[in-house]
Chains A and B, each alone.
Chain A
Amino acid sequence: MLRRWLASGRLRVAAAALAAAGTLSAALAPLLGEAVSESLWGIEPMAYAGGVALIAGLGLLTASYAARGMPAGGPAASGEGQAPERWSEITQRYFEVFHHDLGRPLSRIVGKERELRAALQERSGEIDPAVADLLDEIERQAPNFRLMMSNLQALIQLEGGPTTVREDAVEPAEVVRRIVERYHGVAVEAGKQITWWSEPAEFGIVYSDGSAIEHIVTNLIDNAVRFAAGEVEVKLTRNPTHFFVRVWDDGLGIPAQYVAHLFDRGWTPEAARRDEKVSSGLGLFIAQTLAARQRGGLTVESVTVPDPDHHTGFLLSLPLGRSTGAPPA
């Protein structure tokens, strides 16, 4: 009964109003207090009342949120299913408010780094290679950060429960082109090459989820660039019902015993070996989940060293959409 009352939405609104009124009266105490009573003492009762109202309001608000989150059986009953949902709801709301701020500190850092590079170049013509290396290292972190942020966002959206299959008009070649452009510098810097092409060359549009395609392919290319020996290839093809993005690299390959866990959330070989984890292991989990949501799939095929043909190929397949499929351009 009490819980029901506590959990009601109206109570939360009232509690928030109370807290707001408290803040306001505490803040205005020096002004209003003086008007209420000539002496300085007029300030204090106002401020105290405001403080009490604020604390009471916040307390009620917290209690109300807590009660809403509790399963019907009371706090002792197991909260399976409920608790994670509550958590992701809060996280999601947090991100709705703050996500556009997350990249700002980094874009400042990167901006300053580029300024510094230009200033050094202007002053002495050539930058000391050791300094250039340090600056490059800062620059290299930018794509990592971008990927982490977008993975976090994708993950939170996935936690938000199932959504409908999206069928927006998307140009997959354009999506691939952009991602390759983003990684081109990173790859060259590491002495590697990314090549991409599509068949047909004028690939045309599909009906799908552009941001899901971007998330998936970005994760695949990010991995491929990291693990390639020298070459990464991205190839876009289609058949009458589906389109495919194949991301191939000439790296050492993925051992068969690892392949089974590759798409697990948080799995990396370091984690499996109980070594220090160097990455989050979320990329492929997110990629496969997103692909499945769009009624597609993500598979892997790998040949490991010592076979001279060692490589890893990930194949993303997604329906062309609008049931019949889009005609090629």
Chain B
Amino acid sequence: MADARAEGSILIVDDEVASPIVSAVRRRLEADGWRTVAVEPEGGWRSGDEFEAAALYAIEEAKPDGVLLDVRFGDARDDLFKGLDILRKIVTAHPTLPVLMFTQYAQGPDRETAVRSTLRWDAPVDFIDKLASPEEVVLRLRRLIGTAPEVIRMGGRITLNVSAKTVTVTGKSVEVSGPSGPAALADIHGMRFEILRELAVAWYKSPGRLVPFSALERYSEGEDARASLRVRVREIKDVLGKALGEHLGAGDLIINVRDQGYRLMPKE
């Protein structure tokens, strides 16, 4: 099982066969590198209880890293209780398993608070409305699941491996390709790697998040920490730019935001 989980998998529990909103999210999750497993009433579960049993069984089987639950609650009273029942059973049986639940739009925060109050206070459960973009759902799941992955892909071509402490660039530039795929960029190591890692993890968790100077200054030295940081960032950009075969200017990839800190801004 360990290898299957290495990439991370999400179980999708959906009571409507292939609801378009969920299919779009599913495609987006797969593009993000997650494996998805679905519990769908394809043969048509005869009862809500059967559906619930199938969902719980699938959790035991697939051992997912997170669950995306789309069981309508809000139309009819029965549905309302079914969705909540399933949620509650999952939380009881797997108290640490992150669950993101779709809600119909505008059930509102009060409703969520009410639902949450019926669960364990520390249950990793979150709600998201159906009008959310697939992008938003993916971000929320990442946040809920919590850990940053071992491998972070920044835009199309740059990949950072956290534990191997390597950065690779794929694509045109020939000299960086080794025999077994792209070789790691030897010039990004030590403090340079740490700076890039900080930026990559912050970006992965919340694409708009700035990393303030205060969080980066430990990766610089000398009297003027900011100046030393500026030099390091410049060096990182030069190395990456060379590998990418393009010039990275002030507004590319790593940007300095109004003297507050740095932010990663990869191109798709």
Contact = CB atoms under 8 A, between A and B. Distances in A.
Interface of A: 99-104, 106-107, 110-112, 114-115, 117-118, 139, 142-143, 145-146, 149-150, 153, 168, 177-178, 180-182, 184-185, 193-197, 199, 201, 210-211, 214, 233-235
Contact of B130 (A107, A150, A185): A107
B132 A100 contact: no
Given A103-B131, A146-B129, A233 B257 contact: yes
Contact of A118 (B24, B108, B140): B24
Contacts of A178: 140
B92 interface: no
26 contacts: A100-B74, A100-B107, A102-B105, A102-B106, A103-B105, A103-B131, A104-B104, A107-B21, A107-B130, A110-B21, A111-B20, A114-B21, A142-B131, A142-B133, A150-B108, A153-B106, A153-B108, A177-B206, A180-B208, A181-B140, A193-B208, A196-B206, A197-B209, A197-B261, A211-B108, A214-B109
Interface stretch (B41-49, B57-65, B210-218): B210-218
Given A100-B74, A103-B131, A118 B208 contact: no
Contacts of A117: 24
Interface string B165-184: 00000000000000000000
A115 B24 contact: yes
Interface of B: 19-21, 23-24, 27, 74, 104-110, 113, 129-136, 139-140, 143, 206-212, 214-215, 257-258, 260-261, 263, 265
**Majority secondary structure of chain A interface residues (helix, strand, loop or mixed):** helix
Contacts of B212: 197, 199, 201
A35 to B, nearest CB: 32
A193 B215 contact: no
Given A106-B105, A107-B104, A211-B109, A185 B208 contact: no
Nearest to B268: A188
A199 B211 CA distance: 11
A177 B214 CA distance: 20
B208 A184 contact: yes
A103 B130 contact: yes
Contacts of B129: 103, 146
A155 B137 CA distance: 27
A103 B72 CA distance: 14
Contacts of B265: 193
Given A185-B133, A197-B261, A103 B106 contact: yes
B165 to A, nearest CB: 23
B18 to A, nearest CB: 9
A111 B24 contact: yes
A23 B63 CA distance: 54
A181 B130 contact: no
Nearest to A141: B131
A196 B131 contact: no
Nearest first, the 4 A-B pairs at minimum CB distance are A103-B105, A111-B20, A114-B24, A197-B210
A142 B139 CA distance: 18
A152 B56 CA distance: 39
Contacts of B131: 103, 106-107, 110, 142-143, 145-146
B104 to A, nearest CB: 5
B105 A177 contact: no
Nearest to A152: B106
B104 A118 contact: no
Nearest to B110: A211
